[in-house]
Copies of this chain bind each other. A is one copy, B any other.
Amino acid sequence: MERKLPQSGKVRLTEVAKLAGVSPITASRFFRNPNALSISKRERVESAARELGYVPNLAARALASHRSEVIGVLIPSLTNNVFADVLRGIYDTSEGSRYSIQLANTRYSNLQEERLLRIFHGQKPAGLIVTGIDQTPEARAVMRNMNCPIVQIMEIGPEPIDMIVGLSHSDAAFAAVRHLLERGYKRIGFLGARMDPRGQRRFDGYREALKAADSFDQRLVVTTLSPSTVPLGGILLSDLVSRVPNVDAVFCINDDIALGALFECQRRQIAVPEQLAIVGFNDLEFMASAVPALTSVRTNRYEMGRKAIEMLTAAMDGKPPQERVSDLGFEIIVRASSPPRRDPSATHV
């Protein structure tokens, strides 16, 4: 019985081997580990493959070897700039390797994440990158079954599934709020949207910093579950100033909210930073351009993606792990929106 599929001059490993005068398995080895071949055969296979224009059939390879050369990547949003940078790091770094990226969007939903994880599970990926540390127990169970290296990205936390690279969002937020406190601000508001787990932990850092200074006040906290957008920053700021007119600084959960807050101040003729200081989070490029330039917390997002792929490929290639936890830290980038406060009641310096 003949198969009728048009084989369109398909070149298989067998053809390459025949032309090179070696057995198929030798040719196969050439593509996976050239160094295992004698130099003469290596060269013969190489030129034969080139001559025939051989392209390996990845499906056959995956079927026979029980593993694909796919790295699954789960992120919660495609729209958020923050992930664009991480993705760039991931794609740039994986491009050199033999692995390809399979991206999926959880839309900030744990259920979606579980579902996607199950799909990935069926594809036997060589490695996996997941966002954050808040996977459900079910999701963690699926991952443990996947039998491949896994890197959690964006933040660090206790009990990593396997490897983890990121920063402590609560520490970063704590430091940002300390910066405001040290510069003399007293009534520091919090503008939060989306309030995903990382946002929650930024809020935790904010609260802890203020509690330590005995300045925490629930009325200063304005949050919503809606996705972060620039316009929303304006709405949140409006809310805050109507509730606490004498607020003197705001810590925004991210830069989009901060920009929206700045615009709202411009609209309301609230002088920034004289009447209100603003601090954002992530340090997107526009923060330096704004008028006034906006203080923010710089996170190493590109680096996070790069590092995740490096850790993963090292593990997939069987190299001993150098480190399972990589804290990429953060940096408070101080700009004009949060100068030392000129407190009328303070002595002149």
Contact = CB atoms under 8 A, between A and B. Distances in A.
Interface stretch (A43-51, A97-105, A126-134, A197-205): A97-105
A285 B234 CA distance: 12
A87 B118 CA distance: 22
A101 B230 CA distance: 30
Interface in A193-212: none
A239 interface: no
Count this chain's copies in the assembly. Answer: 2
Contact of A234 (B85, B231, B256, B289): B289
A299 interface: no
A213 interface: no
A59 interface: yes
Interface string A57-85: 11110110010100000000011010011
Q: In the complex, which range does the number of interface residues on chain A fall in? A: 35 or more
* Chain A interface SS verdict (over half): helix
A21 interface: no
A229 B285 contact: yes
A271 interface: no
B78 A88 contact: yes
Given A118-B55, A285-B231, A79 B84 contact: yes
Contacts of A230: 285-286, 289
Interface of A: 5, 8, 55-60, 62-63, 66, 68, 78-79, 81, 84-85, 87-88, 91-92, 100-105, 118-119, 121-123, 147, 229-231, 233-234, 256, 259-260, 263-264, 266-267, 285-286, 288-291
21 contacts: A55-B118, A57-B122, A58-B123, A59-B63, A59-B68, A60-B63, A78-B84, A78-B87, A78-B88, A78-B91, A81-B81, A81-B84, A91-B104, A102-B102, A231-B285, A231-B289, A259-B289, A260-B286, A263-B291, A264-B289, A267-B291
Given A59-B62, A230-B285, 8 more contacts: A59-B68, A101-B103, A230-B289, A233-B289, A256-B286, A260-B286, A260-B289, A266-B291
